[in-house]
């Protein structure tokens, strides 16, 4: 689980840096807030994180 969280955090930081380079603040803040969903112990948060990775891979 620690490896999964570490990799997700690294991906989020890199994606936020990409959005910061293009000066789009709202997607950058969404990317930085996404890993905090892992603190909620519900099943739906994993689905939300997976749905957020699809548009992130396309940009």
Domain map (residue ranges) of the chain: 2-58
User: Tell me, what's the pLDDT at 38?
Assistant: 79
Residue 59 has pLDDT above 80, yes or no: no
Question: What is the reported pLDDT for 37?
Answer: 82
Write 40-44 long-range contacts (CB < 8 A, 24+).
none
Buried b (16+ CB within 10 A) or exposed e, 11-21: bbeebbeebee
pTM given for the model: 0.66
Q: pLDDT tens digits, residue range 10-57?
A: 888 888 888 888 888 888 888 888 888 878 888 888 788 878 778 777
> Residue 6 has what pLDDT?
82
CA distance 57 to 22: 16
């Amino acid at each position: 689980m620690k490896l999964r969280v570490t990799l997700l955090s690294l991906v989020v930081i890199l994606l936020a840096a990409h959005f910061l380079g293009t000066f789009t603040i709202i997607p950058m803040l969404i990317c930085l807030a996404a890993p905090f969903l892992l603190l909620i112990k519900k099943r739906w948060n994993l689905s939300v994180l997976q749905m957020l990775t699809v548009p992130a891979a396309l940009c």
